[in-house]
Structure formats: structure tokens, C-alpha cells
């Protein structure tokens, strides 16, 4: 790969990639920001190499890019990612008693864990609670391939540490989504600060389903990057 890519370029890398030098060299200069949707070690590797290369373009992070599994890493990357905006199903500083109780329970269970529950800890909790609620509703009946169990799951609407969660008629989740910004917490740890809460976001992002289908199937080229 040689030269700079156009402003609307997209780069796709395999999970577990360790060398991002060719991609970083090709990143365009005349853009407002770079959107990064890498998680875990992939995110740490990219961010470290981007910082070491002298990259100074603002970043917009995917939810896994600014997760505690990344923010908890050591080194200069932690300072480099401060100020990065993102959006996702959790926010470390959300001032709500439900979230505060969940954080407290997490910290008590995992005293050596992250300062705040990771995206994955939250997701596993939500999924497990849904399974238990549905099992209780059908008295543990998983006969006939779990027909009753699946029907119970489809009809669930329940309270979570981040608000109400339910499924739409196509069994896609409806939940509150948080706009956040990476900041340094009072104890020096990096956190996602709550900027705004968008209630009950659906698969179609508020667009009616017929109109949503007109956009076509999601792919590497759709939606377009503008």
C-alpha cells in the first residue's frame, strides 16, 4: 500500500493484527477525524503505533475501542485517547442509582478488576438476566427445542443497570444508548464521561422499518462514508 488514501477510505484488518504501519502511513491528512472500531489488544496496538508515528488527527472510537479493556492499558496511549468521543450501551460516569449499584456489585466481586465494568461485563449480565427471567417464566420448560423459552425471551421487557431493555418484532434489542467522551477520573483512571443519553434506540435508529429497508443491506460499502 503506497501513498495517502482518499478522505473516505476504509481499512479492514483481521482480528489479531499486530502491525498497522502500512495502514497508518496511508491514512489521509485532510479529514476531520478517524473512526476506529478496534477492541482489546487490536485497539491498543493500533493506538500505540498511531501515537508513535506522530499521528495527531482526532479520533472517534467505537464502543469496544474505548472500553475498559482498552482504557485500562498502560503507557502513553492512555493520554493520547483522552477526549475521544464514542457511543454505546454503557457510560462509566452515568449518574443513576441503577448503574451505581451495578458498579458497586462489580467492584465488590472483582476488587482487582477494572475501575468500572467493561462493555462485556455489562452485556454478559444483561444476557444472563434475560435467560433467567425467561426460564423462570416457563418454569424451566425447554421441551420442543425451547419453543416456550424463545417465546418468553421475545416478549421480555425488563430493568437493567442502564435502563429498560426489550426486543422489537424482529427480536432486535431496544435500549438506551450513551454518547460519551474519554476523560481522566479523579483517581487517574480513564473513564467514559456521560455527554448525553438517547432513550430506547432501536435497530432502525428511529426510522420506520419500510424506510430503513430502502437504504439496502449493510456492507463494507453501505452506508457510504461522507
| Average pLDDT of span 106-111 | 96
Q: How many Cα atoms are found within 13 Å in the side-chain-facing hemisphere of 12?
A: 3
Angle at 121 between CA 115 and CA 126, to 5 degrees: 135
Residue 29 pLDDT grade (very low, low, confident, very high; cuts 50, 70, 90): confident
The answer on pLDDT for 1 being more than 60 is no
The answer on pLDDT for 79 being more than 90 is no
Q: What local confidence, expressed as pLDDT, does residue 157 receive?
A: 97
| Average pLDDT of span 85-103 | 97
Radius of gyration of the CA atoms of the chain, in A: 20
Residue 118 pLDDT grade (very low, low, confident, very high; cuts 50, 70, 90): very high
| Average pLDDT of span 169-186 | 95
The answer on pLDDT for 6 being more than 80 is yes
How high is the mean pLDDT of the chain?
Answer: 93
pTM to 2 decimal places: 0.90
Nearest by Cα to 174 from 89, 113, 53, 75 = 89
* Separation between Cα atoms, residue 82 and residue 224, nearest integer Å: 28
Q: How many Cα atoms are found within 13 Å in the side-chain-facing hemisphere of 96?
A: 16
Residue 56 pLDDT grade (very low, low, confident, very high; cuts 50, 70, 90): confident
Burial class (CB in 10 A: 0-12, 13-18, 19+), 191: buried
Cis peptide before 223 (omega within 30 of 0): yes
| Average pLDDT of span 211-216 | 94
Burial class (CB in 10 A: 0-12, 13-18, 19+), 90: buried
The answer on pLDDT for 2 being more than 70 is no
Amino acid at each position: 500500500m503506497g501513498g495517502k488514501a482518499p478522505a473516505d477510505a476504509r481499512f479492514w484488518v483481521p482480528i489479531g493484527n499486530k502491525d498497522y504501519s502500512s495502514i497508518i502511513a496511508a491514512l489521509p491528512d485532510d479529514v476531520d477525524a478517524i473512526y476506529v472500531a478496534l477492541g482489546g489488544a487490536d485497539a491498543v496496538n493500533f493506538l500505540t503505533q498511531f501515537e508513535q508515528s506522530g499521528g495527531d488527527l482526532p479520533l472517534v472510537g467505537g464502543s469496544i475501542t474505548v472500553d475498559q479493556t482498552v482504557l485500562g492499558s498502560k503507557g502513553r496511549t492512555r493520554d493520547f485517547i483522552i477526549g475521544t468521543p464514542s457511543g454505546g450501551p454503557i457510560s462509566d460516569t452515568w449518574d443513576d442509582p441503577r448503574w451505581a449499584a451495578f458498579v458497586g456489585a462489580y467492584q465488590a466481586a472483582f476488587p482487582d478488576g477494572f475501575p468500572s465494568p467493561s462493555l462485556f461485563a455489562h452485556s454478559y449480565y444483561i444476557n444472563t438476566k434475560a435467560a433467567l427471567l425467561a426460564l423462570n417464566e416457563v418454569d424451566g420448560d425447554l421441551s420442543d427445542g425451547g419453543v416456550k423459552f424463545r417465546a418468553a425471551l421475545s416478549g421480555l421487557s425488563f430493568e437493567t443497570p442502564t435502563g429498560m431493555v426489550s426486543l422489537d418484532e424482529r427480536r432486535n434489542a431496544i435500549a438506551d444508548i450513551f454518547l460519551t467522551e474519554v476523560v481522566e477520573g479523579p483517581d487517574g483512571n480513564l473513564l467514559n464521561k456521560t455527554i448525553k443519553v438517547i432513550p430506547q434506540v432501536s435497530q432502525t435508529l428511529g426510522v420506520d422499518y419500510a424506510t430503513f429497508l430502502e437504504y439496502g443491506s449493510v456492507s463494507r460499502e453501505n452506508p457510504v462514508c461522507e
